[in-house]
Amino acid sequence: MPLTISASEPFHSSHGVVNWHGFFLANREEFKRFLEGPVKERLRDIENEAAFEAEMLALASTGMAKETLRALLDSSPAREAWEVGEAIAECFIQEHYGVVWPWNAERDKRTPRASLPGADLVGLMEEDGEAYLALGEVKTSNDPRRPPQVMYGRTGMAHQIDNLAGGLAIQFAILKYLNVRCKNTNYWPLFQRAAENYLRSGGKAIRLFGSLVRDTEADEGDLRARAIALAPRLSSPTRLRLIALYLPESIDNLVGFVEGGAG
């Protein structure tokens, strides 16, 4: 699949099983198309929304019914910047690392800010001939500090990555989640291979992603300290990639671009 977003890589390094990379999405026009295309599709689950709307329209036979349907379709909560940041990370990781997301998070929402079981990102990938669970966390920040506050504390990325790597209860919930959503789909064989690999490795054969979405200048200081701190707590065949995505537009403008209101 051809890339829809290109990026320069101002820094990259590694320590143990941890790699960290900074990517600058420099081309504003390309970035805008990326938001209006893959990111918007990921956010809105366009295919299923269109099918649902068509089916409901077929049942709306009166003016009142059509008004009620329109009110329902317009009742979605306002989009937030962190949601757009998460979708940017998903689409970038899919394109650049070959991760597949078997299920769109929008389909699991029952209340605003609902999330996947214990992780922002839940997917599958192949690497070096093996299949892996791909799990990740995303933080979107316009904090000018380096690193930003979202990398620290009990709700920070480093702590959440620790939980993903060693939390059997979280991994159990994720396996159940993927089992249900991959069954009877094209993803089923990949899931079976990834689950078998996971079990055979004692729960170590996973690929972890930590993605920081920023609107600042690229700086290795955003990731380096956290990467080095996490490395001793992880062992092969687990692998962690920390990724900082530096955007050419302000985070405050992301929702406007996705919703079509920004120029």
CA distance 240 to 206: 9
Q: What per-residue confidence (pLDDT) applies to 66? A: 77
CA distance 211 to 88: 10
Average pLDDT over residues 111-127: 72
Task: Give the mean model confidence (pLDDT) for residues 29-58.
Answer: 79
CA distance 71 to 4: 34
pLDDT in tens, 134-180: 999 999 998 888 889 899 888 888 889 988 888 888 999 999 989 98
Residue 67: pLDDT band with limits 50, 70, 90: confident
Give how far Cα 223 sits from Cα of 3, 108, 148, Å. Answer: 25, 31, 10
pLDDT of residue 102: 85
* Secondary structure element (H or E) that encloses residue 135, with its range: strand 130-141
263 has pLDDT over 60:
no
On the question of pLDDT at 130 being above 80, the answer is yes
Q: Give me the mean pLDDT over the 181-189 stretch.
A: 91
* pLDDT bucket at 220, cuts 50 / 70 / 90: very high
Cβ neighbours of residue 38 closer than 8 Å, sequence gap 6 or more: 4, 5, 91, 95
Cα→Cα distances 32→228, 234, 254, Å: 34, 37, 9
What H or E segment, with its residue span, contains residue 8? strand 8-15
Cα separation values, 59 from 48, 56, 184, Å: 17, 5, 29
Of residues 111 and 143, more confidence is placed in 143
Residues 6+ apart with CB under 8 A from 206: 132, 133, 134, 135, 164, 165, 171, 198, 238
pLDDT for 77 = 63
Confidence of residue 235 (pLDDT cuts 50, 70, 90): very high
Mean pLDDT of the chain: 86
